[in-house]
Structure 1
Amino acid sequence: MSMISIRGAITTDHNSKTEILQATKEMIEAIIDSNNLQIDQIIQILFSTTKDLDEVYPAVAAREMGLTAAALMCFQEMYVKGSLEKCIRVSILADAEGLNTHNVKHQYLRRAKCLRVDLMK
């Protein structure tokens, strides 16, 4: 078993159930596709949202995508004055043979690209 943690983040324009679920799915799909993962390789997903996103748990989107065996938890991101708003962050723990810290492809989408400018080169 080869464990890897994959990070990602995405923003929404509004605090709505539809937008939160759609953005979460987009982010998870981008992580799965860019890292050639299968859903059954995902062991755990930790989600955090900024305090201005409170209409739905992002984990609902993961369950709708078929992630029914993975452990999912949602948290509120620590508030920092002036920080990025309406942001969903994720940390995915996966059993991903062939991936390591040097070739994993983290996904920072939409306005969340500013969180990891080093990855956007």
Structure 2
Amino acid sequence: MTVRAIRGAIQVERDEELHLLESVKTLLKKIMYANDLSPDDLISVVFTSTPDLVSAFPAAAAREMGLDHVPLMCAQELNIVGALPRMVRILAHVQTHRKSSDIRHIYLGGAAALRNDLAQKEKGGVTL
């Protein structure tokens, strides 16, 4: 097994606790599914959010998913003029047999603008 880092991001529609937590769960689940990960493969996860998100800790979504034994940490993004609002980013450290070129980074919704080269395209609710 090799240690790899996986990135992901999602732009939430509004700063509301339930919406924020559900959005982060969606992102984390898609990262895990796309990279064929189980909870035991997670070493640690760092969550960041933009300063305009204050309704919940993004890591709480992972706890609600049952990731009780994974070290989690939240931090705030820099408040840069012109940055996309309402963004949550994930940096997951994982154990995997995948080569770095086979890791799938997930950027959903408005976050796709951050990395058009890595963003997951969706059509009719299906990731292409």
* TM-score normalised by length of structure 1: 0.95
Is the contact between residue 43 and residue 69 of structure 1 (CA under 8 Å) also seen in structure 2? no
1:1-121 superposed matches below 5 A: 1-97=1-97, 99-120=98-119
CA contact (8 A) 1:3 1:93 kept: yes
Structure 1 residue 19, shift from structure 2 partner: 1.1
Q: 2:125: which partner in 1?
A: none
Separation in structure 2 between the aligned mates of residue 25 and residue 45 of structure 1, nearest angstrom? 13
Shift of 1:100: 2.4
Distance in 1 of aligned mates of 2:55 and 2:115: 26
- Per the TM alignment, residue 70 of structure 1 is displaced from its structure 2 partner at its CA by 0.8
SS of 1:36 mapped into structure 2: coil
Asked if structure 2 preserves the Cα contact closer than 8 Å seen for 1:12 and 1:20, the reply is yes
> Which of the pair has the greater relative contact order for Cα pairs under 8 Å at 6+ separation?
1
Q: Which amino acid aligns with 2:107?
A: Y
- Unaligned 5+ runs, structure 1: none
User: What is the alpha-carbon distance in structure 1 between the residues aligned to residue 95 and residue 35 of structure 2?
Assistant: 12
1:37 positional shift: 0.4
Sequence identity percentage: 36
Q: Give the deviation of 1:81 after TM superposition.
A: 0.4
List per-residue Cα deviations over 1:55-99 (Å, max 9, x = no partner). Answer: 1101110011111111100000011101100000000001112x1
Give aligned pairs, total. Answer: 120
The structure in which a higher percent of residues are helix is 1
Deviation at 1:118, TM superposition (A): 1.5
TM-score, with structure 2 as normaliser? 0.90
Q: Is the 8 A contact 1:87 1:112 kept in 2?
A: yes
The one-character-per-residue Cα deviations of 1:26-51 (angstroms, maximum 9, x if unpaired) are 00000000000001110100000000
